[in-house]
Structure 1
Amino acid sequence: MKKLEGKIAIITGGNSGIGLATAKRYVEEGAYVYITGRRQKELDLAAERIGRNVTAVQGDVAVTADLDRLYEQVRSEQGRVDIVFANAGIGVWAPIEHVAESCFDSIFNVNVRGVFFTVQKALPLMPDGSSVILCGSSSATKGMPGLSVYIASKAALRGFARSWSAELKPRRIRVNVLTPGPTETPIFGKAGLPADQIDAMKSKVASETLTGVFADPDEIAKAAVFLASDDSTFIIGADIPVDGGHAQV
């Protein structure tokens, strides 16, 4: 039997990178998946790549009305949500002295506020024993110059996972943080840096892993399957690094 047979999953930011790779894996393991993203064209292309058992719902996790619309559609079509992978996130490179209020707010609105309300609004649809997965970052442990706002937003997820795990104990809903290390995703191309600086940053970060390379998104997706499945029922409130040793040694 497939690991996620008959499960209903939500993946925010499911149109690319780790979210898309995880959606593919979830469908392969028997789940029906709803993916979200802000850009309809990218969502449609992602749904085509996944191929089956997927619905793409355009929306921004920072906009609560969009989340309400998502969950109303899921409620009317499926009646429940078994897995929530709060994966959507953004990052902008900026030294502390150059961080504008608008930059700070946009990152926290997606990475913290968006995660909070993605989970809060899912809870009425989640059966006892469901799984919530928050997508963290190894940089939240290691620290990197120019990324303090992004790193702080990802560090907040650790507090969410601990608090929610205790709060949701009566419902046996387990909440964990999946913490990728350097991974080949579009986020680097959206960091606001010239291409040569992005290449230099990626080379430096890759050298800090024990493998010397970035992860493929599918390597992170495999861990997301584990945390969504009954194989991980005794893992609760944990931070699971999948980072090539980036923040471990």
Structure 2
Amino acid sequence: MNKYSGRKAVVAGGTHGMGLAVVKALLDGGAEVVLTGRNEKNIETARTELTSSAAHVVRSDATSMADIHALGDLVEAGLGQIDFVFVNIGLAKLEPFDQVTEASYDQSFDTNTKGAFFTTQRLAPLVRDGGSIIFTTSIADEGGTDTLTVYSGAKAAVRAFAKGIASALLPRNIRVNVISPGFIDTPTMGITGMTDDDRDALKEMGDTATPMKRHGTVEEIATAVLFLAFDATFTTGARLTIDGGIGQGISTPR
């Protein structure tokens, strides 16, 4: 199947989980992809797993302006113009409001917010007119949870960024949208610093809280991302929730 033959994409945060699923779907469809990560183990695993010559795995830290600019230079030299950017940059840590420190606050906003913004700013000039950009936020970008207060604020900022950037790129017909996942079955469950027991407990809680009574799969995320990227040609500035109904006020039938 060559649905994406001739397409070129960048997936920032593409070496594991949801990002890697998007990369695999793009490659299966015939696209050429630059994917980034900063965890050396995930980078090496992705390099081993992705045997296609169309996959270019790059170490890049979204909190480093030097790395962001170097990524843009690499993409420009290697791919030239691109069709799609998936800004799948994120860091979540369970931290109660009264335990947040300046260091943990800065770490969250440097990754989730500053990194996402400046990665997009650097890559946007390389996106073809008529292309698309998608950000990953979270269903936590609205509502309130004590242990995710800072993360929620950082992701809400990204959601706001997407609307402003969508406006800025309208003259070039570049669409900018957001996906907001709920509980998704990824290696880390989206939270850093948890033990295996913590992840098991979080998964059980997520299955109970989600009206569809299960976690989403990374393949379901990839399907939604690529729909927005290539098929939703009259959609920009939108937020697509992929959450099994948990953020939609749906009650489980009695």
Aligned counterparts, 1:174-213, within 5 A: 174-188=175-189, 190-213=191-214
**1:196 Cα shift?**
3.5
Matched AA of 2:236: I
* Contact 1:141 1:247 survives alignment (8 Å): no
* Change beyond 3 A, Cα 1:189–1:32: closer
The DSSP-based 3-state class of the residue aligned with 1:222 is helix
Structure 2 partner of 1:24: 24
Matched AA of 1:244: G
Aligned counterparts, 1:110-129, within 5 A: 110-129=111-130
1:62 partnered with 2:57: no
Encode CA deviations 1:214-239: one digit per residue, 9 max, x unaligned: 1111110111111111x111011000
**Does 186-195 or 19-28 show the bigger shift?**
186-195
In 2, distance between residues paired with 1:189 and 1:26? 22
* Change beyond 3 A, Cα 1:25–1:199: same
In 2, distance between residues paired with 1:119 and 1:210? 34
Aligned counterparts, 1:95-244, within 5 A: 95-188=96-189, 190-229=191-230, 231-244=231-244
Q: Which runs of 5+ in 1 are unaligned?
A: none
In 1, distance between residues paired with 2:172 and 2:186? 34
Matched AA of 1:177: V
Structure 2 partner of 1:92: 93
Q: What is the TM-score of this pair, normalised by structure 2?
A: 0.92
**1:46 Cα shift?**
1.1
Q: Which runs of 5+ in 2 are unaligned?
A: 250-254
Structure 1 partner of 2:80: 79
Structure 2 partner of 1:247: 247
Question: Alignment length, in residue pairs?
Answer: 248
**1:190 Cα shift?**
4.7
**1:195 Cα shift?**
4.0
Q: What is the TM-score of this pair, normalised by structure 1?
A: 0.94
- Highest relative contact order (Cα 8 Å, sep 6+), 1 or 2? 1
The DSSP-based 3-state class of the residue aligned with 2:167 is helix
**1:189 Cα shift?**
7.3
The DSSP-based 3-state class of the residue aligned with 2:244 is coil
Aligned-pair identity in percent equals: 38
In 1, distance between residues paired with 2:207 and 2:164? 32
* Change beyond 3 A, Cα 1:184–1:150: same
Encode CA deviations 1:77-114: one digit per residue, 9 max, x unaligned: 12112111000211110101101111111111010000
Encode CA deviations 1:192-227: one digit per residue, 9 max, x unaligned: 344434433332222121221111111101111111
* Change beyond 3 A, Cα 1:193–1:56: closer
**Does 27-36 or 16-25 show the bigger shift?**
27-36
RMSD of Structure 2 on Structure 1 (CA): 1.6
Structure 1 partner of 2:8: 8
